[in-house]
Structure 1
Amino acid sequence: MTRQSIGKQGEAKAKSYLLEKGYSILNENFRTKLGEIDIVIADKDSIVFVEVKSRRTGKYGLPREAITSYKQSKIRKVALLYIKKYKLEKRKVRFDVVEIFLDETLGDEFWKVNHIINAF
């Protein structure tokens, strides 16, 4: 399984997880010249920007550790563009991370999901 396919499968797993938890998906893979936001959801009166990180092993650390302060800054800037585009200035905003762990020893079907609310 390639790194890119792990990422795409991880995003699909995160989307399923968020839907199961009752969140409404507003947008997926919102792209601008500045960058991309993986998933945008609605949670009551808040708009939530979700970064999804998937890993096969812990060899390179936890998935959330890949979201550096630089990456967080880029996500915030893209989120601001999203808010302006959809005129959501009056809504509360939050940034979540969904970590996806694939345990290859148990086969491609075994995934663990960790949802970090208000991650940054």
Structure 2
Amino acid sequence: MNAQGALGRYGEDLAARTLRNAGLTVLARNWRCGRRGEIDILATEGDALVVCEVKTRREGRYQPPTAALTGDKITRLRTLAERWTAEHGGAPPGGVRIDLVGVTLPVRGAARVEHLRGVA
């Protein structure tokens, strides 16, 4: 695994832990749907399915991770969520929500994790 892959994996590990600590149940990580793409984390909160995009950045190098969710990415996540629900018994009673977890790694100190609910 290259450095960027390791950084992303570390961010996803922190994101999954943050979601669990917030009471969500993680169902799957890195769920792939052929060439259509990947959902970083699928979880449930109550009776809602949560599709979670994780963005990890080193501090100061790029825009903040929370600014990295584009319209195209949201459309792709919605399409992937439809595929997931079709393969897993349909949409849950609480519907489907798209969340973003932004992980920022400072030069020194602990990572900052920000969970934004219902970004799309």
2:49 to 44, 47, 50: 47
Q: Structure 1, residues 68-115: CA drift from partner, whole Å, max 9, x if none?
A: 111111111111000100013243110000000111233xxx111100
Offset of residue 44 of structure 1: 0.5
Q: Distance in 2 between matches of 1:39 and 1:100?
A: 14
Q: Distance in 2 between matches of 1:17 and 1:56?
A: 18
2:85 alignment partner, SS class: helix
Say whether residues 1:98 and 2:119 are aligned partners.
Answer: no
Q: Distance in 2 between matches of 1:46 and 1:90?
A: 6
TM-score normalized by the length of structure 2: 0.91
TM-score normalized by the length of structure 1: 0.91
Q: Which amino acid aligns with 1:21?
A: A
Q: Distance in 1 between matches of 2:57 and 2:92?
A: 35
Which residue of structure 2 lines up, in the alignment, with residue 111 of structure 1? Answer: 111
Structure 2 unaligned residues grouped into runs of 5+:
none
